[in-house]
Amino acid sequence: MSDIVATWDISLSDGVHKVEFEHGTTTGKRIIRVDGKEIYRQDWMFKLVGKEHFQVSKTKCCISIEAVSGFAYEYSLEVNGKPLKKFQENQSRIMRTWVLYIGGVDTRVVLEKDTLDVWVNGAKVETTGEFVDDGTETHFQIGSHSAFIKAKTTGRRRDGIVHELYVDEIEIPLATE
């Protein structure tokens, strides 16, 4: 019987990772799975509360187990030292993500705005930058398809720079994740 008490989705540059946590409230058993793969198991523990540290890709994570009342527990996830919600807000500021179907495959393209790294389906790709009349273009390949991310100013200080993905000269809308 499964004792899964919490699941979380973490959106990182290399993809969206699912974290599952099992907690046996009588035995103290703790199991952490990332993307369906078990990465931590402790079958018997006397201490039913506490923290479990682990990594997803190279990102540090921590699950906190706190007693609420009696045998009721509360579970929370921290990513890079921040509560998951705060981490996700930060990620949405520094990453732009597009999802498209190309060559018979669902494809996820991520731009890290702080480093200008481009990731395609979890792999960092080689890019070439170019200045154009209304901004910059970062060129790369998705298989045999040519792609580029165009960065241009909105002309409004509050909105700053917008990023648009083009694959084979067709604009791809931003994903909502």
> The domain that contains 15 carries what CATH number?
2.40.128.180
pLDDT above 60 (res 1): no
Alpha carbon separation from 138 to 119, 122, 171 (Å, rounded): 12, 18, 14
Q: What is the mean pLDDT of residues 3-17?
A: 92
pLDDT of residue 153: 87
Nearest-angstrom CA–CA distance, 29 and 93? 37
Mean pLDDT of the chain: 91
Q: Would residue 107 count as lying in a domain? A: yes
Q: Which helix (H) or strand (E) holds 85?
A: helix 84-94
Q: Would residue 40 count as lying in a domain? A: yes
Q: Which domain holds residue 145?
A: 93-172
Total domains, the chain = 2
- CA dihedral 122→128→132→137, nearest 10 degrees, is 0
| Of the residues 80, 111, 139, the one at which a domain ends | 80
Contact call for residues 106 and 97 (beta carbons, < 8 A): no
Q: What is the pLDDT of residues 45-80, one digit of tens each?
A: 777 889 999 999 999 999 999 988 877 899 999 999
Predicted TM-score (pTM) of the model is 0.81
pLDDT above 70 (res 32): yes
pLDDT above 70 (res 144): yes
- Choose the most confident range, by mean pLDDT, from 74-83, 92-101, 146-155: 74-83
Q: What is the mean pLDDT of residues 79-101?
A: 93
Contact call for residues 175 and 99 (beta carbons, < 8 A): yes
Q: What is the mean pLDDT of residues 108-130?
A: 94
The model's confidence at residue 156, banded by pLDDT at 50, 70 and 90, is: confident
Q: Which residues contact 125 (CB under 8 A, 6 or more apart)?
A: 118, 119, 140, 141
Q: Are residues 70 and 116 in the same domain?
A: no
The model's confidence at residue 177, banded by pLDDT at 50, 70 and 90, is: low
